[in-house]
Amino acid sequence: MNTENNNGKTIAIISYLTIIGTIIAIVQNSETKSPFASFHIRQALGLILTFLALGYPIGYFDSWMVSSAFYLFFFILWVFGFLGAIQGQMSLAPIVGPFFQKLFKGL
């Protein structure tokens, strides 16, 4: 694997580490524009923003079943994306992945 691909993989992995990691990855990728890193930045940013937008209202349900299902769903999506970045694969997150690719196509 050459240095450019390795750098894109590193940026992709960083993008899944909190919203700060995603912001750092966006800044790092603005210089090189690795397609692999851009793909994972879009996935990670979409997951994080959707989690934050839906997590607050879900907390008001006062039901451990609803809350735990929500957290489990997003944890599985995060693991799916994170493992894809580690393995060097560009796999869309189930259900929401294509939407995130279209929504954040400028990144």
CA–CA dist 62, 100 (Å, integer): 29
Q: How distant, in Å, are the alpha carbons of 5, 31, 32, 64, 93 from that of 27?
A: 17, 8, 10, 38, 23
What is the per-residue pLDDT for 3? 55
Q: Which domain holds residue 58?
A: 3-104
15: phi then psi, degrees, rounded to nearest 5: -65, -25
Which residue positions in the chain have pLDDT lower than 50? 1
The pLDDT value recorded for residue 2 is 53
**54-70 residue pLDDT tens:** 998 998 888 899 999 99
**pLDDT for the residue numbered 1:** 47
Task: Supply the pLDDT for residue 47.
Answer: 95
Q: Which two tokens stand for residue 79?
A: 């693991």
Domains held by the chain: number: 1
Nearest-5° Cα angle at 107, 24 to 6: 60
What does the pLDDT read at residue 4?
A: 56
